[in-house]
Copies of this chain bind each other. A is one copy, B any other.
Amino acid sequence: MCRWLAYSGTPVLLDTILYRPQHSLIDQSLHARMGVETTNGDGFGVGWYETDPDDPDAVTPAIFRDTGPAWSNRNLRELARHVRSPLFFAHIRATTGTPVQQTNCHPFRHGRWMWMHNGAINGFDRMRRDLVLAIDPDLFSAMEGSTDSETMFYLALTFGLEEDPPAAVERMAGFVERTGHEHGVEFPLQMTVAVTDGRGLWGFRYSSQKASRSLYYSTRVDTLRQLHPEIEFLRGVSDETRLVVSEPLGDLPGAWNEVPEGSYGVVEPGGDHLRSFTPQAA
């Protein structure tokens, strides 16, 4: 089990979101409240887009990943206090068996795209060869690690992630399920996934068994501001600022909403939406 967080909105210091909340992601790395595994100490990563890049159309996110626990990493703490970003991902890992190494840490990046995942492909060892064979040969050598999560990312890229993210993720899920069933796995897929191209942000919650890992999104800031006029942070960020998280960062009443089972949310300029998610034939 892993935990992750995606932020989109008014540029903030990473520290504001990663370390300062009552039940921050760094706190979750030692003491997650939800899920079976409460320790997420097998590596971590953050990826961020710059506030004011010189060329907004060619922006590539920065990725910082390391193998130890996030809670004691001094470089992460330094960066969090000096990096300001309007759109960033953070992930803490609890391995389900694959090696603890930088290339297995999330987020994964391809061009301007980032991907992170909580969950597992059940029976991945058995299916791995069939799954990687389906990846576009031109993308094959870009894969550096050995996780199911990275394989899912490259499958989604193969199935058109850069053109239509929800459709590509639905085809990836459909392909993983079909492959799993061929190998006798009843419930092949368990996932919450975040993906972004630096503008839009998509968060997916799905599992073959209809018992997906938890996923939450924050309430619109204008609504929250009315509920909690005393909270200073809410006064400094735009109405559209959003967080999507594996588990709430605190107990603020009205702040967190569950992403429904088998659905996905889109956060993009011009409005946010929740839609149903259904695996498709690849």
| A interface residues, Cβ below 8 angstroms from B | 30-31, 39, 41-42, 50, 60, 62-69, 72, 74-75, 78-79, 81-82, 95, 98-103, 125-126, 128-129, 132-133, 137, 140-141, 143-146
Sample of 12 A–B contacts (CB below 8 Å): A42-B72, A66-B75, A67-B68, A74-B102, A79-B79, A98-B144, A99-B102, A129-B140, A132-B132, A133-B133, A143-B146, A144-B146
In the bound complex, residues from chain B placing their C-beta under 8 Å from that of A145 are 146
Residue on B with the closest CB to A138? B129
The count of identical subunits is 4
Which chain B residues border A128 with CB–CB below 8 Å? Answer: 140-141
- Given B64, B125, B140, which contacts A78 in the complex, CB threshold below 8 Å? B64
Write out the residue numbers on chain B whose beta carbons fall within 8 Å of the beta carbon of A60: 81
Specify which of B72, B75, B140 is in contact with A95 (CB 8 Å cutoff).
B72
Closest residue of chain B to A141 (Cβ to Cβ) is B125
Q: Is the pair B67, A82 in contact by a Cβ cutoff of 8 Å?
A: no
Q: What is the CA–CA distance of A68 and B100 in the complex, to the nearest angstrom?
A: 10
In Å, the complex CA distance between A39 and B29 comes to 10
Q: Are A79 and B100 in contact (CB under 8 A)?
A: no
**How many angstroms from the CA of A101 to the CA of B64 in the assembled complex?**
16
How far is B43's CA from A101's CA once the two chains are assembled, in angstroms? 13
CA distance A102 to B43 in the complex (A): 14
Complex partner residue of A101 from B82, B102, B141, CB under 8 angstroms: B102
Compute how far the CA of A60 lies from the CA of B78 in the bound complex, rounded to whole angstroms: 10
Inter-chain contact B72/A100, CB cutoff 8 Å: yes
Q: What are the residues of chain B within 8 A of A72 when measuring CB–CB?
A: 41-42, 95, 100
Cα distance A82–B132 when bound, in Å?
32
Minimum CB–CB distance for A56 against chain B, Å? 14
Chain B residue contacts of A63, Cβ below 8 A: 78
Q: Using Cβ atoms and an 8 Å threshold, which residues of chain B touch A125?
A: 141
